[in-house]
A and B are shown apart, each in its own frame.
Chain A
Amino acid sequence: MSESTKNGNGAPHVELRRVTKRYGTVTAISDLSLTVEKGSFTALLGPSGCGKSTLLRMIAGLEEITAGQCFIDSVDVTDVPPAQRRIAMVFQSYALYPHMTVRQNIAFSLSVAGAPRKVQDERALEVARILQLEAYLDRRPAELSGGQRQRVAIGRALVRKPEVFLFDEPLSNLDAKLRVQMRLELAKLHADLRTTMIYVTHDQTEAMTLADRIVVLDKGTISQVGSPLELYNHPANKFVAAFIGSPSMNFLAADLAAAIDGVASVALQGGRTARARVRTGAKADGPVELGVRPEHLALVSPSDATAAFTGAVVIVERLGSATILYIDTPAGQLIVQGEGNLSAKPGETVGLALNETNVHLFGPSGAAL
């Protein structure tokens, strides 16, 4: 399995060639290949236990690679110690040394390398200016807020002038508001530095908003690599389709009746039919799953000719800018996302129309047709 992520520069920067990681009999990463190109912001996205942090730690050199090779800047670093890989890592816990001041934390890598005190102070100040931490240089981590600690952790990475930044779920300890703010700051930092950044997260919003390429991982293998919109609009399989997007995509059991010239006709439960675009070569061979995003279902009158399903509204969630409806239909519960002022009440019977240009079909193996 080989996947690559692209960016403006086009040169491969980090490359994993057929890497495998085993812990005893458990395989965490299985024969995975990945290329991250110079200057890109790549997110490794997946649910807990999919191997994304393991993969990042393998790039960092914190996990031994059981099989395969890791290259940074075309140099095989598989057996190179972490400190010599010219990488810097920001941990989920920030890992700030509690007995050191912000200045000492930021300058720690320079200090262990034996840099003169003056150089350490100058570099720490320079980084503190970028991250607006000048006022806190003499404070200890315990005296900082979550966001400030996060910035110090980034500063500690920044001071090393690394070739590659590695982030291991750096925002997951922050509250929702601060997370949005830090997300913005990270995006600005990447825009300013144009350094390769690899970012592990289980939060699809973080991945979608920050990364220019997303690597979706599932059970130690790559499910799909692409830009945020590619993943959203053209998921390669049911796993990616279900994982990307909030609320999650609806899946309906269907029968593929015909597939001619890239357009398939599927029979839905209840006798209705729907059309969907498929790759040419897809064959009508029985049961499939039809995927439709909540925003691609529209509320219509139950008697409307376009209504593919009718059902009863169970829950109405009003988010202000949007309204989420949970509707019980003969095909199962469906989620519908409409405008903020959508008028619907629990218990009301409604019809649902499919936006056929935006439906996806998945075969029995889960792969997109």
Chain B
Amino acid sequence: MSASVETRLDAPAAPGSRRLARMRHFDLVGLCVTLATLALAILWAFPLYWGVVTTFKPEDEVVQPGVQLWPKDFTFENYGHVLLQTKIGIWYLNSLITSVAVTIIVLIMAAGAGYAISQLEFPGRRFFWWMILASFMVPIPALIVTHFLVLNQLNLINTLAGVVGPQLIAPVTVIIYKQFFDSVPKDFREAAVIDGATDFQLLFRIYLPMNWGITTALAIITFIGAWNLFLWPFIAVSSEDKMNITVGITQVHDAFGVQYARDLAVAMLAALPVAVVYLIFQRRVTQAIMLSAGIKG
């Protein structure tokens, strides 16, 4: 008996020293992982740094062989050219109009559809739900030719409405809203129904405000997606006055062909609003990405 007690008393010493050894081992592993992460971060950030630095170099320095980590002749000429000699203001405005329009319309439509499928009983509800799930499986670029033909028949090619139209297909947003509306306890709905609330009032005064975080996250990610979209606006618009900033970049050239520093300068300016939005709403964007991946945040 006493022996077993002794064993128990001795026991903590051995795991203690083992733990210390394990901690030392972990520290080494941790250090290696940190260094590897740092190396990867540098590898990832270098092109970004290279791009930013290049925008401050004169074009002849850009095309010189070798690696110049800092401009010899620091210049704002590239930004000056982009801001003063191109239609970047109009491209920004077009991007803003189309991205805001896509964000607002997608959220309203998706919230409405998600609410209807989640909360209302109507014929074909299950069918619509399966259709939305099925549409989620179809990659949007596969529909580009169809979209072009339809919008051409509607005379919407080369218009901002034409840029917005196909972007309104957002099944993931509907699915996310439906999931969240499903999780709202039914007592809230029933209490509001007894109080005389209509379905519109239920959606806009109860369900959406109760899921405000989700709406914000979805709004940010939809806006960023619409702002960054290139392929469809590139196909749908040929007039420079109707171009988005992403397509406008392709127009920054002169008689001598592509000017890398100018191209990178306009690319930096195009990415700036998204970077600002991301920095401000970092947590929400992460949440939205997790939601889109099907992980409830």
Task: Report the Cα distance A221→B201, complex, angstroms.
Answer: 37
- Shortest Cβ distance from A81 into B: residue: B193
Cross-interface CB contact of A109 among B187, B188, B190, B196, cutoff 8 Å: B196
Known: A93-B187, A95-B185. A82 touches B210 (CB 8 A): no
Q: A326 CB to closest chain B CB, in angstroms?
A: 39
Nearest-CB residue, chain A, relative to B196 = A83
Interface string of A75-107 (1 = CB under 8 A from B): 000000111100111011101011100000000
| Contact A156:B196 (CB < 8 A) given known A97-B210, A112-B201 | no
Chain A residues in 8 Å Cβ range of B191: 89, 91, 95, 156
Q: What residues on A are CB-neighbors of B192 within 8 Å?
A: 108, 112
Given the interface contacts A99-B210, A112-B201, does A93 sit within 8 Å of B196 by beta carbon? Answer: no
Complex Cα distance, B194 from A113, in Å, reads 12
State in angstroms the CA–CA spacing of A160 and B197 once bound together. 13
* CA A189 to CA B7, docked complex, whole Å: 67
- Cα-based distance from A210 to B191 in the complex (angstroms): 24
Contact partners of A62 in chain B: CB under 8 A: 190, 193-194
Contact with A along B175-191 (1 / 0, CB 8 A): 00000000001011011
Are the CB atoms of A83 and B210 closer together than 8 Å?
Answer: no
B212 lies within 8 A of chain A by Cβ: yes
* Bound CA span A89–B193, Å: 11
Query: For the complex, is A60 an interface residue (Cβ under 8 Å from B)?
Result: yes
* Contact among B185, B193, B198, B209 with A82 in the assembled complex (CB-CB below 8 Å): B193
Chain A residues with Cβ under 8 A from B206's Cβ? Answer: 97
Interfacial residues of chain B within 187-223, with CB under 8 A of chain A in the complex:
187-188, 190-198, 201, 205-206, 209-210, 212
Cross-chain contact B185 with A112 (CB below 8 angstroms): no
Across the two chains, which residue of chain B brings its CB closest to A110?
B195
A62-B212 Cα distance, complex, nearest whole Å: 27
Residues of A within 8 A of B190 (CB): 60, 62, 82, 89, 91, 95
CB distance from A368 to the nearest CB of B (A): 38
Tell me, in angstroms, the Cα distance from A93 to B191 when the chains sit together. Answer: 11
Closest to B189 in A: A95
Report the bound CA distance from A109 to B191 in whole Å. Answer: 9
Is the Cβ of B187 less than 8 Å from the Cβ of A91? yes
CB neighbours of B205 from chain A (8 A):
112
Q: Measured between alpha carbons, how far is A97 from B198 in the docked complex, in Å?
A: 16
Set of chain A residues within 8 Å of B197, measured between Cβ atoms: 83, 108, 112
A112-B201, A112-B205 known; A95+B187 contact, CB < 8 A: yes
Contact A83 B195 (CB under 8 A): yes
* Residues on B with beta carbons closer than 8 Å to the beta carbon of A95: 185, 187-188, 190-191
The CA of A157 and the CA of B169, in the complex, are separated in Å by 42
What residues of chain B lie closer than 8 Å to A108, measured between beta carbons? 192, 195, 197
Residues of B near A112 (CB, < 8 A) are 192, 195-198, 201, 205
CB pair B194 A89 closer than 8 Å? yes
- Selected from B188, B196, B212, the residue in CB contact (under 8 A) with A97 is B188
Q: How many residues of A contact B (CB 8 A)?
A: 23
B195 touches A109 (CB 8 A): yes
Task: Output the residue of B190, B192, B196, B210 with the most chain A CB within 10 A.
Answer: B196
Please measure, in the bound complex, the distance between the C-alpha atom of A156 and the C-alpha atom of B197, giving whole angstroms. Answer: 14
Report A7 CB to chain B, min CB distance, Å: 24
Cα A156 to Cα B97 in complex, Å, equals: 43
Distance between Cα atoms of A87 and B194 in the complex (Å): 8
Docked pose: A98 CA to B185 CA in angstroms: 12
Q: How far is the CA of A69 from the CA of B209 in the complex (A)?
A: 37
What string of 1s and 0s marks CB contacts (under 8 Å) between B38-67 and chain A? 000000000000000000000000000000
Shortest A24–chain B CB gap in Å is 15
Question: A112 to B206, alpha carbons, bound, how many Å?
Answer: 11
Residue of A nearest to B188 (CB): A95
CA distance A44 to B32 in the complex (A): 68
**Closest residue of chain B to A160, judged by CB?**
B195
Q: List the A side residues contacting B209 at CB < 8 Å.
A: 97, 99
Please, which residues of chain B bring their CB within 8 A of the CB of A92? 187
Of A61, A62, A81, A87, which is in contact with the most chain B CB atoms at under 10 Å from its CB?
A: A62
Chain A residues within 8 Å of B198, by CB: 112
- Shortest C-beta distance, A97 to chain B (Å), equals 6
| Least CB distance, A37 to chain B, in whole angstroms | 22
Q: How far is the CA of A61 from the CA of B198 in the complex (A)?
A: 15
- Would A88 and B194 count as touching, CB distance under 8 A? yes
Chain B residues in 8 Å Cβ range of A156: 191, 195
Closest to A85 in B: B194
> Once the chains bind, are B196 and A113 in contact (CB under 8 Å)?
yes
A84 CA to B205 CA in the complex, in Å? 20
Give the complex CA separation of A98 and B187 in angstroms: 13
Asked if A99 and B212 sit within 8 Å, CB to CB, the answer is: yes
Q: Are B193 and A98 in contact (CB under 8 A)?
A: no
Q: Write out, one digit per residue, whether chain B residues 237-258 have a CB within 8 A of any chain A CB (1) or not (0).
A: 0000000000000000000000
Q: Closest residue of chain A to B205, judged by CB?
A: A112
CB neighbours (8 Å) of B201 from chain A are 112
Q: Which chain B residue shows the least CB distance to A168?
A: B187
Question: Looking across the interface, which residue of chain B has its beta carbon closest to that of A114?
Answer: B196
Closest chain A residue to B185, Cβ basis:
A93
Chain A to chain B contacts (Cβ below 8 Å), 23 pairs: A60-B194, A61-B194, A62-B193, A82-B193, A82-B194, A83-B194, A83-B195, A91-B190, A92-B187, A93-B185, A95-B190, A95-B191, A97-B209, A97-B210, A99-B210, A108-B192, A108-B195, A108-B197, A112-B205, A113-B196, A156-B191, A156-B195, A160-B195
Residues of A within 8 A of B (CB): 60-62, 81-84, 87-89, 91-93, 95, 97-99, 108-109, 112-113, 156, 160
The chain B residues found within 8 Å of chain A, CB to CB, are: 185, 187-188, 190-198, 201, 205-206, 209-210, 212
Task: Sort A-B residue pairs by CB-CB distance and give the 5 closest, nearest first.
Answer: A83-B196, A109-B195, A95-B187, A95-B191, A99-B209
